[in-house]
């Protein structure tokens, strides 16, 4: 067809897509948390407008597109869409786009041939969005299609005219008022414009049969009686209406057989801001005078075909690519990326994994040395958001090679406080973590507290009590036995989950402390099966182990790999405990089956939940052990907890200053005496025999 003849043919301005970044964020969330590996089609909303100046013929989608109902806004024109998100780039590329367009075109045709589109005109404007989301790089491949019937040639009988060349000022104002007062957003995109006795009104599209009997009389520029087919036109081109007109004309071809091959007048409604920036004008609207095809050339005698795939930035039919990694807030990108691998576990491997409880757990790490650093890094990998360090030491030159949260600079000028340096480095690794550090000198049994030290020790105890109260899981990672006693007592009293990791030269022990349940009607292990704490296997009270120690005894001397093994296991054990329905009260693997009921299932979503794990690097072995609470335990027994709760700091001072106090109140002194008496009697019996 020649260029001269092109002026006589109705041509349409195609839709352009505008995807807000919030749309991709919402799609990522749905992919990770809801759809996972599913590729099912999902209904979404888009919108366009007949107002200027937006981008020409643009369809907008954002986070609200995934709402169940359309989020109505003044003058917004809804567009119902379908998104199909593929799991791989290959399946995205190989998807049969022709078949997809044909399938949704037939759905559109069904709405046209029935009365659905007449009752709900928004069904005439739809879109398809085929996507692939690369959530590692935050690259989104996408391709929009706006299905439209490939209509036979429709002639323009005259060039498009501005509305003010046909309607007078009062009529244009009446048209504007009638349109802006449409309350039902389903009726905004397509309608009829009726002129009776010079007055303009809008009729719903379901009255389209009136076109078969329309009167039309013109008196210069003043129309007295007429009926127009109207639509909200997103185009700003002076001679080309927007894409929605295609399917509106298809509707006419099916429902208005009486005017096929005849003239039809259209109002392409375009709203423009007035000079005051507040009110609207229809001045830029167009009036189109077209000739419809004859019945022989129109559907259904001519089988309809479908078009609508959007061209890319190069003007070719193909997908587009949105790269969000460079435009996203780096901290937010880091946060979503951290969660990605964790959420992938739920897709196939562990669907019942509760990541929220892990992310929201508040962890207090007592000790920021080799174990503390390794535990913190593993907690970070599990997505834990709140991690607090407590340590009394400073970073020395021997630390950075074994303790992963410190660098050489932390050792200079006498060394930075470990807890503070560790918390700061955690934020360098991942800015989204809530990490903090406190330098506290832990009061310990057998470490005498003089009058001068009393205020500082009392302040430290109060701070430690508050920290334990504010956290959910307490990790005991210090390098001496007695430094674990005070936090064990406080945490047991406050019903906190306590995790312990301790190292030898080539051995380690990892365990969770047993918790006594104070609630009734809860299926937990009975008292005789109560799991023990770190001190339950000892018959000696913790004392001052810092006295008279050589250099090798003052330092933690272990094979370098032992701490990583223990740190990984203690965190994995904590996560397994959190996945069990009974949490910290979960029974341990190895408890005798004679007292075990169905509610004592020791399995969590991640497997068994042992009490303690002992490792031996020399033989590359691990053992799962169970030990029950010792009624004379110096840390978790009822006598100790009762004394702490009743006497408070006075009880603690007695323990700090008297190395035998704990043994006396727990009955260990009596046990020792009976043991010595038994030895004496045994020796006496032996002497008599001789």
Reported as a single tens digit per residue, the pLDDT across 71-86 is 888 888 999 999 999 9
Coil, strand or helix at 665: helix
Question: 371-385, 463-477, 503-517 — which is least confidently predicted?
Answer: 503-517
Residue 219: the pLDDT is: 47
Rounded to a whole number of angstroms, the distance between the first and last alpha carbons of the chain is 130
Domain 155-302 classified CATH 3.40.140.100? yes
Query: Distance between CA 498 and CA 390 in Å, rounded?
Result: 15
Specify the fold of 3-151+307-323: Cytidine Deaminase; domain 2 (3.40.140)
- CATH of the structural domain 336-674, one choice from 3.90.380.10, 3.40.50.720, 3.30.160.70, 3.30.56.10: 3.40.50.720
Asked if pLDDT for residue 653 goes beyond 80, the answer is: yes
**Is residue 501 within 8 Å of 390, Cβ to Cβ?**
no
CA atoms within 13 A of residue 206's CA, in its CB half-sphere: 8
Predicted confidence at residue 350, as pLDDT, reads: 87
Q: Which residue has the higher pLDDT, 672 or 253?
A: 253
Residue 57 among the catalytic residues: no
pLDDT of residue 136 exceeding 90: no
Contact 485, 635 (CB under 8 A): yes
Average pLDDT value for the chain: 87
In whole angstroms, what is the distance from residue 133 CA to residue 331 CA?
A: 20
pLDDT of 296 reads: 83
Res 520: pLDDT: 39
Task: Please write the tens of the pLDDT for every residue from 3-21.
Answer: 445 568 999 999 999 999 8
pLDDT tens for 201-242 read: 999 999 999 998 764 444 444 455 789 999 999 999 999 999
- Give the percent of the chain with pLDDT over 70: 87
Q: What's the pLDDT at 286?
A: 95
For residue range 232-241, list pLDDT tens digits in order. Answer: 999 999 999 9
pLDDT at 271 over 60: yes
3-state secondary structure 565-603: HHHHHHHHHHHHHHHCCCHHHCCCCCCCHHHCCHHHCCE
Q: Do strands 126-134 and 77-86 pair parallel, antiparallel, or not at all (unpaired)?
A: parallel
| From 57, 256, 373, 555, active-site residue | 555
Q: What is the DSSP letter of 546?
A: S
> What pLDDT band is residue 676 in, cutting at 50, 70 and 90?
low
- At residue 327, the pLDDT reads 67
Rounded CA separation 619/506 (Å):
9
pLDDT at 690 over 50: no
Task: With a cut of 70, say whether residue 620 has pLDDT above it.
Answer: yes
Q: Tell me the HSE value of 503 on the side-chain side, using a 13 A CA sphere.
A: 24
Angle (CA) 258 252 261, round 5°: 45
Checking if the pLDDT of 448 tops 60, the result is yes
pLDDT of residue 302: 61
Average of per-residue pLDDT across 288-297: 89
Over residues 185-197, mean pLDDT: 93
Q: What is the pLDDT of residues 624-650, one digit of tens each?
A: 999 889 988 999 999 999 999 999 999
CA distances from 657 to 446, 449, 539, 627 (A): 6, 6, 19, 30
Q: Domain-by-domain residue ranges, the chain?
A: 3-151+307-323, 155-302, 336-674
Average pLDDT over residues 263-286: 89
- pLDDT category, 523, cuts 50, 70, 90? very low
Q: Find the mean pLDDT for residues 605-634.
A: 92
At 296-345, the pLDDT tens digits run: 877 766 678 899 999 999 999 999 999 987 766 677 777 777 777 788 88
Same fold, 155-302 and 336-674: no
């Amino acid at each position: 067809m020649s260029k001269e003849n092109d002026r006589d043919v109705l041509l349409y301005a195609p839709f352009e897509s505008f995807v807000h970044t919030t749309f991709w964020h919402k799609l990522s969330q749905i992919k990770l948390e809801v759809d996972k590996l599913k590729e099912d089609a999902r209904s979404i909303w888009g919108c366009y407008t007949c107002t200027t100046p937006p981008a020409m013929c643009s369809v907008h989608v954002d986070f609200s597109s995934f709402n169940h109902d359309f989020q109505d806004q003044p003058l917004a024109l809804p567009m119902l869409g379908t998104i199909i998100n593929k799991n791989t780039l290959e399946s995205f590329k190989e998807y049969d786009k022709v078949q997809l367009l044909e399938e949704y075109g037939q759905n559109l045709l069904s709405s046209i041939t029935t009365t659905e589109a007449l009752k709900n005109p928004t069904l005439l404007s739809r879109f398809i969005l085929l996507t692939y989301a690369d959530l590692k790089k935050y690259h989104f491949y996408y391709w929009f299609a706006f299905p439209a019937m490939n209509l036979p040639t429709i002639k323009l009988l005259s060039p498009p005219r501005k509305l003010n060349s046909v309607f007078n000022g009062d009529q244009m104002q009446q048209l504007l008022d009638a349109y802006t007062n449409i309350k039902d957003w389903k009726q905004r995109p397509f309608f009829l414009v009726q002129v009776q006795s010079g007055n303009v009104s809008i009729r719903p599209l379901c009255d389209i049969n009136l076109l078969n009997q329309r009167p039309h009389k013109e008196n210069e520029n003043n129309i007295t009686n007429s009926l127009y087919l109207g639509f909200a036109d997103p185009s700003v081109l002076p001679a080309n209406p927007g894409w929605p007109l295609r399917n509106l004309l298809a509707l006419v071809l099916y429902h208005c057989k009486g005017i096929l091959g005849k003239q039809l007048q259209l109002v392409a409604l375009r709203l423009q801001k007035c000079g005051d920036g507040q009110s609207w004008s229809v001045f830029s609207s167009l009036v189109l005078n077209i000739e419809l095809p004859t019945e022989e050339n129109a559907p259904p005698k001519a089988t309809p075909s479908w078009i609508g795939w959007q061209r890319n930035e190069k003007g070719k039919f193909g997908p587009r690519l949105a790269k969000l990694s460079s435009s996203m807030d780096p901290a937010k990108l880091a946060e979503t990326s951290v969660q990605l691998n964790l959420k992938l576990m739920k897709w196939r491997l562990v669907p019942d994994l509760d990541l929220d409880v892990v992310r929201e757990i508040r962890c207090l790490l007592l000790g920021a040395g080799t174990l503390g650093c390794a535990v913190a890094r593993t907690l970070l990998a599990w997505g834990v958001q709140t991690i607090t360090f407590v340590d009394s030491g400073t970073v020395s030159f021997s630390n950075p090679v074994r303790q992963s949260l410190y660098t050489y600079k932390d050792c200079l000028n006498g060394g930075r406080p470990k807890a503070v340096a560790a918390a700061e480095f955690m934020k360098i690794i991942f800015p989204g973590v809530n990490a903090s550090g406190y330098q506290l000198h832990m009061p310990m049994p057998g470490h005498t507290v003089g009058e001068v030290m009393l205020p500082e020790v009392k302040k430290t105890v109060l701070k430690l009590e508050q920290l334990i109260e504010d956290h959910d899981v307490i990790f005991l990672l210090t390098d001496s036995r007695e430094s674990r006693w005070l936090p064990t007592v406080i945490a047991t009293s406050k019903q906190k989950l306590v995790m312990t990791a301790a190292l030898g030269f080539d051995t380690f022990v990892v365990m969770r402390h047993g918790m006594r349940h104070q609630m009734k009607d809860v299926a937990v292990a009975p008292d005789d099966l109560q799991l023990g704490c770190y001190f339950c296997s000892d018959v000696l009270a913790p004392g001052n182990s810092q006295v008279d120690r050589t250099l090798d005894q003052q330092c933690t001397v272990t094979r370098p790999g032992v701490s990583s093994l223990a740190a990984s296991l203690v965190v994995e054990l904590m996560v397994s405990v959190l996945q069990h329905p009974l949490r910290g009260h979960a029974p341990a693997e190895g408890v005798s089956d004679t007292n075990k009921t169905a509610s004592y299932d020791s399995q969590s979503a991640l497997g068994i939940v042992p009490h303690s794990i002992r490792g031996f690097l020399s033989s590359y072995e691990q053992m799962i052990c169970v030990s029950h609470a010792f009624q004379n335990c110096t840390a978790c027994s009822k006598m100790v907890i009762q004394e702490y709760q009743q006497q408070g700091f006075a009880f603690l001072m007695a323990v700090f200053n008297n190395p035998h106090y704990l043994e006396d109140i727990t009955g260990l002194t009596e046990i020792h005496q009976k043991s010595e008496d038994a030895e004496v009697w045994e020796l006496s019996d032996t002497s008599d025999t001789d």
